[in-house]
Structure 1
Amino acid sequence: MDRSGDDHWRPLVAALANDRVREAFARLTLGATADDALEGLSPSRRRHVVETLQRAGLLTDDLRADGGAFARVLAAAPSAPRPTGIARYLSPDGRLIGYPSNPDERRELLILLAARILAPGEVLDERGINERLQALTDDVAALRRHLVDHDLVERTRSGTEYALVVDPSS
Protein backbone atom coordinates (compact mmCIF):
# COMPACT_ATOMS: atom_id res chain seq x y z
CA MET A 1 0.00 0.00 0.00
CA ASP A 2 2.50 2.58 -1.16
CA ARG A 3 0.19 5.41 -2.13
CA SER A 4 0.89 9.08 -2.03
CA GLY A 5 -1.54 11.93 -1.71
CA ASP A 6 -4.35 12.59 0.68
CA ASP A 7 -6.38 9.50 -0.18
CA HIS A 8 -3.89 6.87 1.04
CA TRP A 9 -6.49 5.64 3.52
CA ARG A 10 -9.21 4.97 0.95
CA PRO A 11 -8.28 1.36 0.03
CA LEU A 12 -8.16 0.44 3.71
CA VAL A 13 -11.57 1.92 4.47
CA ALA A 14 -13.03 0.48 1.26
CA ALA A 15 -11.80 -2.99 2.23
CA LEU A 16 -13.32 -2.75 5.70
CA ALA A 17 -16.60 -1.44 4.28
CA ASN A 18 -17.09 -4.70 2.36
CA ASP A 19 -18.68 -7.38 4.56
CA ARG A 20 -16.99 -10.35 2.84
CA VAL A 21 -13.57 -8.70 2.85
CA ARG A 22 -13.93 -7.64 6.48
CA GLU A 23 -14.99 -11.15 7.51
CA ALA A 24 -12.06 -12.74 5.67
CA PHE A 25 -9.64 -10.28 7.28
CA ALA A 26 -11.13 -11.01 10.71
CA ARG A 27 -10.69 -14.75 10.20
CA LEU A 28 -7.11 -14.26 8.99
CA THR A 29 -6.39 -12.01 11.97
CA LEU A 30 -7.66 -14.72 14.31
CA GLY A 31 -5.20 -17.21 12.75
CA ALA A 32 -7.24 -18.95 10.05
CA THR A 33 -5.46 -20.09 6.92
CA ALA A 34 -6.32 -18.31 3.68
CA ASP A 35 -8.28 -21.38 2.53
CA ASP A 36 -10.32 -21.41 5.75
CA ALA A 37 -10.86 -17.63 5.73
CA LEU A 38 -12.11 -17.70 2.14
CA GLU A 39 -14.14 -20.89 2.48
CA GLY A 40 -17.50 -20.83 0.74
CA LEU A 41 -16.55 -18.11 -1.75
CA SER A 42 -16.50 -18.67 -5.49
CA PRO A 43 -13.08 -18.50 -7.19
CA SER A 44 -13.84 -15.03 -8.61
CA ARG A 45 -15.06 -13.75 -5.22
CA ARG A 46 -11.92 -15.22 -3.58
CA ARG A 47 -9.74 -13.33 -6.08
CA HIS A 48 -11.66 -10.13 -5.41
CA VAL A 49 -11.32 -10.47 -1.61
CA VAL A 50 -7.59 -11.24 -1.83
CA GLU A 51 -6.94 -8.36 -4.26
CA THR A 52 -8.92 -5.95 -2.08
CA LEU A 53 -7.01 -6.99 1.04
CA GLN A 54 -3.67 -6.69 -0.76
CA ARG A 55 -4.55 -3.28 -2.23
CA ALA A 56 -5.43 -2.12 1.29
CA GLY A 57 -2.15 -3.46 2.68
CA LEU A 58 -4.03 -5.85 4.96
CA LEU A 59 -2.55 -9.02 3.48
CA THR A 60 1.04 -10.22 3.24
CA ASP A 61 2.43 -11.93 0.14
CA ASP A 62 1.95 -15.30 1.85
CA LEU A 63 -1.74 -14.44 2.48
CA ARG A 64 -1.58 -13.69 6.19
CA ALA A 65 -3.29 -10.77 7.90
CA ASP A 66 -1.18 -7.63 8.25
CA GLY A 67 -2.65 -5.33 10.89
CA GLY A 68 0.31 -2.98 10.43
CA ALA A 69 -1.63 -1.30 7.63
CA PHE A 70 -3.51 0.73 10.23
CA ALA A 71 -0.31 2.11 11.76
CA ARG A 72 1.07 2.92 8.30
CA VAL A 73 -2.06 4.83 7.32
CA LEU A 74 -2.04 6.76 10.60
CA ALA A 75 1.67 7.55 10.23
CA ALA A 76 1.13 8.85 6.69
CA ALA A 77 -1.78 11.06 7.68
CA PRO A 78 -0.95 14.69 8.28
CA SER A 79 -1.37 15.61 11.90
CA ALA A 80 -2.84 18.86 13.04
CA PRO A 81 -0.51 21.02 15.08
CA ARG A 82 -1.16 20.70 18.78
CA PRO A 83 -2.25 23.89 20.50
CA THR A 84 0.18 25.50 22.89
CA GLY A 85 -0.16 27.95 25.76
CA ILE A 86 -3.66 28.89 26.77
CA ALA A 87 -4.99 27.62 23.43
CA ARG A 88 -4.76 24.13 24.97
CA TYR A 89 -7.78 25.03 27.07
CA LEU A 90 -10.00 26.07 24.18
CA SER A 91 -11.76 23.89 21.63
CA PRO A 92 -11.23 24.68 17.94
CA ASP A 93 -14.42 26.75 18.01
CA GLY A 94 -13.14 28.79 20.99
CA ARG A 95 -15.14 27.17 23.79
CA LEU A 96 -13.56 26.60 27.18
CA ILE A 97 -12.61 22.96 27.75
CA GLY A 98 -10.72 23.31 31.02
CA TYR A 99 -8.79 25.60 33.32
CA PRO A 100 -5.01 25.66 33.66
CA SER A 101 -3.65 24.63 37.04
CA ASN A 102 -0.89 27.21 36.66
CA PRO A 103 -2.25 30.45 38.17
CA ASP A 104 -0.49 32.69 35.62
CA GLU A 105 -1.88 30.70 32.68
CA ARG A 106 -5.32 30.63 34.30
CA ARG A 107 -5.29 34.42 34.62
CA GLU A 108 -4.09 34.82 31.02
CA LEU A 109 -6.93 32.59 29.82
CA LEU A 110 -9.51 34.47 31.88
CA ILE A 111 -8.26 37.83 30.56
CA LEU A 112 -8.76 36.52 27.02
CA LEU A 113 -12.27 35.27 27.80
CA ALA A 114 -13.26 38.48 29.58
CA ALA A 115 -12.20 40.50 26.51
CA ARG A 116 -14.31 38.22 24.32
CA ILE A 117 -17.51 38.85 26.23
CA LEU A 118 -17.26 42.49 27.25
CA ALA A 119 -16.00 45.67 25.62
CA PRO A 120 -14.42 48.40 27.77
CA GLY A 121 -17.15 50.61 29.21
CA GLU A 122 -19.92 48.13 28.37
CA VAL A 123 -22.31 47.18 31.16
CA LEU A 124 -24.48 44.06 31.03
CA ASP A 125 -27.18 42.75 33.27
CA GLU A 126 -26.89 39.19 34.59
CA ARG A 127 -28.98 37.76 31.77
CA GLY A 128 -26.81 39.50 29.15
CA ILE A 129 -23.52 38.30 30.58
CA ASN A 130 -24.90 34.77 31.00
CA GLU A 131 -25.90 34.67 27.33
CA ARG A 132 -22.40 35.69 26.26
CA LEU A 133 -20.76 33.24 28.64
CA GLN A 134 -22.98 30.46 27.29
CA ALA A 135 -21.12 30.81 23.98
CA LEU A 136 -17.90 29.94 25.83
CA THR A 137 -18.90 27.27 28.34
CA ASP A 138 -21.68 25.07 29.64
CA ASP A 139 -20.82 26.03 33.23
CA VAL A 140 -21.73 29.72 33.03
CA ALA A 141 -21.83 30.27 36.79
CA ALA A 142 -18.32 28.90 37.33
CA LEU A 143 -16.78 31.03 34.57
CA ARG A 144 -18.63 34.14 35.75
CA ARG A 145 -17.39 33.50 39.29
CA HIS A 146 -13.78 33.03 38.06
CA LEU A 147 -13.92 36.29 36.10
CA VAL A 148 -15.21 38.20 39.12
CA ASP A 149 -12.88 36.48 41.63
CA HIS A 150 -9.86 37.29 39.43
CA ASP A 151 -10.92 40.97 39.28
CA LEU A 152 -11.41 40.88 35.53
CA VAL A 153 -15.13 41.58 35.60
CA GLU A 154 -16.74 43.66 38.28
CA ARG A 155 -20.33 43.43 39.39
CA THR A 156 -22.57 45.65 41.39
CA ARG A 157 -23.12 44.70 45.01
CA SER A 158 -26.60 43.46 44.06
CA GLY A 159 -25.11 41.32 41.27
CA THR A 160 -27.40 42.85 38.67
CA GLU A 161 -24.77 44.53 36.46
CA TYR A 162 -21.39 43.43 35.16
CA ALA A 163 -18.57 45.38 33.49
CA LEU A 164 -15.02 44.76 32.36
CA VAL A 165 -12.37 45.94 34.82
CA VAL A 166 -10.45 48.76 33.11
CA ASP A 167 -6.91 47.56 33.99
CA PRO A 168 -6.96 43.82 34.76
CA SER A 169 -3.13 43.59 34.82
CA SER A 170 -2.91 44.81 38.40
Structure 2
Amino acid sequence: MVTDRSGDTWRPLVAALANDRVREAFARLTLGASADDALDGLSPSRRRHVVETLQRAGLVTADLRADGSAFARVLAAAPPPPRPTGADRFLSSEGRLVRYPSHPDERRDLLEALAHRVFAPGEVIDEPELNDRLAALTDDIPALRRHLVDHEIVERTRSGSEYSLVAASPQS
Protein backbone atom coordinates (compact mmCIF):
# COMPACT_ATOMS: atom_id res chain seq x y z
CA MET A 1 0.00 0.00 0.00
CA VAL A 2 1.33 3.41 -0.92
CA THR A 3 1.31 6.22 1.62
CA ASP A 4 0.62 9.71 0.34
CA ARG A 5 2.74 12.74 1.28
CA SER A 6 0.88 13.42 4.50
CA GLY A 7 1.16 9.83 5.78
CA ASP A 8 -2.51 9.04 5.18
CA THR A 9 -2.40 5.34 4.31
CA TRP A 10 -6.18 5.26 4.11
CA ARG A 11 -6.51 7.58 1.12
CA PRO A 12 -5.52 5.12 -1.64
CA LEU A 13 -7.76 2.48 -0.09
CA VAL A 14 -10.79 4.77 0.10
CA ALA A 15 -10.09 6.13 -3.38
CA ALA A 16 -10.04 2.58 -4.74
CA LEU A 17 -13.31 1.67 -3.04
CA ALA A 18 -14.93 4.88 -4.27
CA ASN A 19 -14.45 3.75 -7.88
CA ASP A 20 -17.28 1.44 -9.02
CA ARG A 21 -15.13 -0.55 -11.47
CA VAL A 22 -12.30 -1.02 -8.99
CA ARG A 23 -14.73 -2.00 -6.24
CA GLU A 24 -16.44 -4.52 -8.54
CA ALA A 25 -13.10 -6.06 -9.60
CA PHE A 26 -12.01 -6.31 -5.96
CA ALA A 27 -15.32 -7.94 -5.03
CA ARG A 28 -14.93 -10.51 -7.81
CA LEU A 29 -11.34 -11.24 -6.76
CA THR A 30 -12.46 -11.57 -3.15
CA LEU A 31 -15.09 -14.10 -4.20
CA GLY A 32 -12.41 -16.18 -5.90
CA ALA A 33 -12.55 -15.06 -9.54
CA SER A 34 -9.38 -15.12 -11.58
CA ALA A 35 -7.85 -11.79 -12.55
CA ASP A 36 -9.02 -12.29 -16.14
CA ASP A 37 -12.59 -12.97 -14.99
CA ALA A 38 -12.56 -10.09 -12.50
CA LEU A 39 -11.42 -7.64 -15.19
CA ASP A 40 -13.56 -9.10 -17.98
CA GLY A 41 -15.26 -6.52 -20.18
CA LEU A 42 -12.82 -3.70 -19.45
CA SER A 43 -10.77 -2.04 -22.16
CA PRO A 44 -6.98 -2.51 -21.90
CA SER A 45 -6.50 1.03 -20.58
CA ARG A 46 -9.33 0.63 -18.05
CA ARG A 47 -7.88 -2.75 -16.96
CA ARG A 48 -4.49 -1.10 -16.39
CA HIS A 49 -6.10 1.68 -14.37
CA VAL A 50 -8.11 -0.77 -12.22
CA VAL A 51 -5.06 -2.98 -11.57
CA GLU A 52 -2.85 0.02 -10.70
CA THR A 53 -5.51 1.39 -8.35
CA LEU A 54 -5.91 -2.00 -6.64
CA GLN A 55 -2.13 -2.31 -6.25
CA ARG A 56 -1.70 1.26 -4.99
CA ALA A 57 -4.37 0.58 -2.37
CA GLY A 58 -2.75 -2.71 -1.35
CA LEU A 59 -5.92 -4.62 -2.17
CA VAL A 60 -4.22 -7.25 -4.35
CA THR A 61 -1.09 -9.37 -4.23
CA ALA A 62 1.56 -9.25 -6.98
CA ASP A 63 -0.27 -12.06 -8.80
CA LEU A 64 -3.57 -10.14 -8.57
CA ARG A 65 -5.29 -12.12 -5.82
CA ALA A 66 -7.47 -10.23 -3.35
CA ASP A 67 -5.66 -9.16 -0.18
CA GLY A 68 -8.06 -7.90 2.48
CA SER A 69 -5.24 -7.29 4.95
CA ALA A 70 -5.02 -3.71 3.64
CA PHE A 71 -7.94 -2.86 5.92
CA ALA A 72 -6.14 -4.17 9.00
CA ARG A 73 -2.99 -2.24 8.05
CA VAL A 74 -4.92 1.01 7.72
CA LEU A 75 -6.65 0.46 11.04
CA ALA A 76 -3.35 -0.41 12.74
CA ALA A 77 -1.75 2.78 11.38
CA ALA A 78 -4.54 4.99 12.69
CA PRO A 79 -4.23 6.38 16.19
CA PRO A 80 -6.73 4.88 18.59
CA PRO A 81 -9.73 7.06 19.37
CA PRO A 82 -9.33 9.06 22.57
CA ARG A 83 -10.74 7.31 25.62
CA PRO A 84 -13.52 9.21 27.34
CA THR A 85 -12.69 10.61 30.76
CA GLY A 86 -14.72 11.75 33.73
CA ALA A 87 -18.49 11.64 33.36
CA ASP A 88 -18.15 10.99 29.62
CA ARG A 89 -17.06 7.40 30.43
CA PHE A 90 -20.68 6.65 31.32
CA LEU A 91 -22.23 8.21 28.23
CA SER A 92 -22.59 6.99 24.66
CA SER A 93 -20.95 8.90 21.83
CA GLU A 94 -24.35 10.62 21.40
CA GLY A 95 -24.25 11.82 25.03
CA ARG A 96 -26.89 9.39 26.34
CA LEU A 97 -26.54 7.67 29.70
CA VAL A 98 -25.19 4.14 29.29
CA ARG A 99 -24.77 3.19 32.96
CA TYR A 100 -24.41 4.66 36.41
CA PRO A 101 -21.00 4.47 38.08
CA SER A 102 -20.79 2.33 41.20
CA HIS A 103 -18.46 4.73 43.02
CA PRO A 104 -20.53 7.39 44.83
CA ASP A 105 -18.23 10.31 43.94
CA GLU A 106 -18.22 9.36 40.25
CA ARG A 107 -22.01 8.94 40.32
CA ARG A 108 -22.41 12.41 41.80
CA ASP A 109 -20.05 13.91 39.21
CA LEU A 110 -22.04 12.24 36.42
CA LEU A 111 -25.38 13.46 37.81
CA GLU A 112 -24.04 17.00 38.19
CA ALA A 113 -22.80 16.99 34.60
CA LEU A 114 -26.18 15.76 33.37
CA ALA A 115 -28.06 18.30 35.46
CA HIS A 116 -26.01 21.14 33.98
CA ARG A 117 -26.90 19.90 30.49
CA VAL A 118 -30.58 20.05 31.38
CA PHE A 119 -30.81 23.25 33.44
CA ALA A 120 -29.53 26.76 32.97
CA PRO A 121 -28.42 28.40 36.24
CA GLY A 122 -31.44 29.81 38.06
CA GLU A 123 -33.91 28.17 35.66
CA VAL A 124 -37.11 26.66 37.05
CA ILE A 125 -38.98 24.19 34.82
CA ASP A 126 -42.11 22.10 35.21
CA GLU A 127 -42.05 18.29 35.26
CA PRO A 128 -43.19 17.73 31.66
CA GLU A 129 -40.41 20.03 30.41
CA LEU A 130 -37.87 18.29 32.64
CA ASN A 131 -39.03 14.91 31.34
CA ASP A 132 -38.64 16.12 27.74
CA ARG A 133 -35.09 17.26 28.43
CA LEU A 134 -34.16 14.08 30.30
CA ALA A 135 -35.51 12.00 27.41
CA ALA A 136 -32.50 13.19 25.38
CA LEU A 137 -30.24 11.59 27.99
CA THR A 138 -31.95 8.34 29.00
CA ASP A 139 -34.83 5.97 28.38
CA ASP A 140 -35.47 5.68 32.14
CA ILE A 141 -36.57 9.25 32.81
CA PRO A 142 -38.10 8.65 36.27
CA ALA A 143 -34.94 6.95 37.56
CA LEU A 144 -32.66 9.78 36.40
CA ARG A 145 -35.03 12.43 37.77
CA ARG A 146 -35.15 10.58 41.11
CA HIS A 147 -31.33 10.29 41.25
CA LEU A 148 -30.97 14.02 40.58
CA VAL A 149 -33.35 14.85 43.42
CA ASP A 150 -32.08 12.18 45.85
CA HIS A 151 -28.50 13.40 45.38
CA GLU A 152 -29.70 16.97 46.06
CA ILE A 153 -28.47 18.24 42.72
CA VAL A 154 -31.96 19.18 41.59
CA GLU A 155 -34.74 20.28 43.92
CA ARG A 156 -38.52 20.27 43.63
CA THR A 157 -40.63 23.21 44.63
CA ARG A 158 -42.95 22.72 47.61
CA SER A 159 -45.81 21.90 45.28
CA GLY A 160 -43.63 19.25 43.59
CA SER A 161 -44.57 20.56 40.17
CA GLU A 162 -41.37 22.44 39.29
CA TYR A 163 -37.65 21.71 39.41
CA SER A 164 -34.43 23.71 39.54
CA LEU A 165 -30.75 23.22 40.27
CA VAL A 166 -29.88 23.31 43.96
CA ALA A 167 -28.10 26.60 44.64
CA ALA A 168 -24.41 26.05 45.37
CA SER A 169 -23.50 26.74 48.95
CA PRO A 170 -21.05 29.63 49.38
CA GLN A 171 -17.41 28.62 49.90
CA SER A 172 -15.94 29.48 53.31
Q: TM-score, normalised by structure 1?
A: 0.78
Structure 1 partner of 2:98: 98
- For 1:64, the aligned partner's letter is R
- For 1:41, the aligned partner's letter is L
2:155 is the alignment partner of 1:154: yes
SS in 1 for 2:72: helix
Aligned partners of 2:113 and 2:74: how far apart in 1?
A: 38
Aligned partners of 2:123 and 2:41: how far apart in 1?
A: 75
Alignment of 1:1-170 (within 5 A): 1-3=1-3, 5=6, 7-90=8-91, 95-104=95-104, 105-116=106-117, 117-119=119-121, 122=122, 124-126=124-126, 130=130, 133=133, 137=137, 139=139, 141-166=142-167
Choose 15-24 or 98-107, whichever is displaced more: 98-107
Calculate percent identity across the aligned residue pairs: 64
Aligned residues: 165
1:29-57 Cα distance to aligned partner (Å, 9 max, x none): 11111112112222211111100100111
Alignment check: 8 A CA contact 2:2 2:57 kept: no
CA RMSD of aligned residues (A): 2.9
Q: TM-score, normalised by structure 2?
A: 0.78
Aligned partners of 1:70 and 1:144: how far apart in 2?
A: 45
Q: Where does structure 1 lack aligned partners over 5 or more consecutive residues? A: none
Alignment check: 8 A CA contact 1:57 1:66 kept: yes
Aligned partners of 1:118 and 1:141: how far apart in 2?
A: 20
1:2-22 Cα distance to aligned partner (Å, 9 max, x none): 415353212111111212111
Residue 147 of structure 1, CA deviation? 0.6
Residues 65/27 of structure 1: CA separation in 2 closer, same or farther (3 Å cut): same
Aligned partners of 2:49 and 2:123: how far apart in 1?
A: 69
Residue 142 of structure 1, CA deviation? 4.3
SS in 2 for 1:40: coil
SS in 2 for 1:163: strand
Alignment check: 8 A CA contact 2:149 2:155 kept: yes
Residue 115 of structure 1, CA deviation? 4.3
SS in 1 for 2:79: coil
Residues 118/103 of structure 1: CA separation in 2 closer, same or farther (3 Å cut): farther
